[in-house]
Amino acid sequence: MRTGGSDSFFIYTFGCQMNQADSGIISALLQQEGYRPAESDETAGIILLNTCAVRENAVDRIEHYLQHLQGLKKRNKDLIVGVAGCVPQFQKEEMFSISPAIDFLAGPDTYRSLPSLIEQVRSGAKQASLEFNAAETYEGIDPLREGSISAFVPVMRGCNNMCAFCVVPFTRGRERSHPFSSVIGEVRKLVASGYREITLLGQNVNSYRDAEEGRDFAALLDAVSREAPQARVRFTTSHPKDISEALVQAIAARPNICNHIHLPVQSGSSRMLALMNRGHTIEEYREKIALIRSVISGVALSTDIIAGFCGEREEDHKMTLELLADVRFDSAFMFFYSTRPGTLAARTFEDDVPEVVKKRRLQEIIDLQNSVSAELYQQAIGSSVEVLAESDSRRSSEQLMGRTPGNRVVVFDRKGFQPGDLVQVLITSATSATLVGRPEES
Ligand code: SF4
């Protein structure tokens, strides 16, 4: 264990599952160097913000949290605060001007340098390590994971697409895939530790390509499902242009690969998809949906939608509503567009849809999607679904919360079951976001 100064650290994670997985890598790297996790930011000697730049409100939340840390620093002069992840990668040294609380910055490819950054800050100077490293996959690091039921396994990092609204190519750099053998090795360890669900992660998992043998994501997914036959296998996120027939066939063929695909569409209008530089038309997207539905029985689909992207007209918005009504996604992440500095859109287009119009369009999208979800969930009443119990339900310890293979949330009577159990549940009622039921008699 380290001596001198405080050796305890606390990580506050903003953003997506990829960032949660990265926080596990950061924890492992710090613990290898003798640092230990703190219970809370109040008791830590080092506080690390692992940040996300994708949404404007995430950046606002980071600034708010930094104000809180400034208060903590007044009480503890030795407290060290670092900002890691996408925001400092993007804002570079300008980040220091946001808050005097910040002592060091680290980008998504420089987490291995965190222990030396902390040491250098202790010797008195603010530090930044923001280089891209197109070879970095953090191979050989065993991430520390919260919980013992579900585990994230990153299989690739970065993105080579240039969607006009997105900062990821500028914050996480070029695509690189983890070696096939190291993903399988990690899955083997998770199986031995009793994990019941494994989610393969990447910004665009469909473009996974093993550098050694050239195997693709369909081959990886198939191999992972065979390595972990008792666990559920999921993956996210997919790009519509890269969904292959081989991948769809692999999902259909393997019983433990969950029949759920998150397939972001962003808009129902081909004109908008071209402006967004998505690399496909809406007809091609609909063809992919038809392929998926024809091969994977009972598949659940979810998506992402952006309302009010630059140049969006009323007829484009109507096409998005038509798409939602036609496809009937199980669920959707829905946002109105806000400019992310440095992106292709910020450099090329005027953010010309008035905010009041964006908000109105978003509300129409949300209202429609909620009514579709509610109908789909009502239709599930009376059916029997397999649920992986994850935790006590928020309302009562007499109930458990879990998910179906299609990723629907189910709350059900505990009846002696524990988190980690697979339970066959009869659905008795539903809201637009949750199914409610009771275990079937066996
Ligand atoms: S596919 Fe597009 S939206 Fe997704 S991470 Fe890459 S650039 Fe961003």
DSSP string for 1-31: ---SS--EEEEEE-SSHHHHHHHHHHHHHHH
Mark the ranges of the chain whose per-residue pLDDT is less than 70: 1-5, 442
Contact 310, 275 (CB under 8 A): yes
Ligand 1 centroid, distance to 286 Cα (angstroms): 19
Contact 240, 288 (CB under 8 A): yes
CATH number of 384-439: 2.40.50.140
298 burial type by CB count under 10 A (0-12 exposed, 13-18 middle, 19+ buried): exposed
CATH number of 260-379: 3.30.750.200
pLDDT of residue 56: 73
Are domains 145-258 and 260-379 of this chain identical in fold?
A: yes
**Is CATH 3.30.750.210 the classification given to domain 145-258?**
yes
Ligand 1 centroid, distance to 237 Cα (angstroms): 9
Contact 240, 284 (CB under 8 A): yes
Provide the 3-class DSSP secondary structure of residue 387: strand
pLDDT of residue 442: 63
Domain ranges of the chain: 8-129, 145-258, 260-379, 384-439
CATH pick for 8-129 out of 2.40.50.140, 3.40.50.2000, 3.40.50.12160, 3.90.1150.10: 3.40.50.12160
Amino acid at 370: N
The pTM of this model reads: 0.91
pLDDT of residue 215: 96
Ligand 1 centroid, distance to 319 Cα (angstroms): 22
pLDDT of residue 341: 85
C-alpha span between 48 and 44 (Å, rounded): 10
167 CA: nearest ligand 1 atom: 8
Ligand 1 centroid, distance to 161 Cα (angstroms): 6
Which of 239, 280, 340, when mutated, tests ligand 1's pocket best, judged by the most ligand atoms within 8 Å of its CB?
Answer: 239
pLDDT of residue 1: 42
For strands 150-154 and 127-129, give the pairing: unpaired
pLDDT of residue 195: 97
Q: What residues line ligand 1, using a CB cutoff of 6 Å?
A: 159, 161-163, 166, 168-169, 203-204, 239
Q: Name residues whose C-beta falls within 8 Å of residue 185's C-beta, 6 or more positions apart in sequence.
A: none
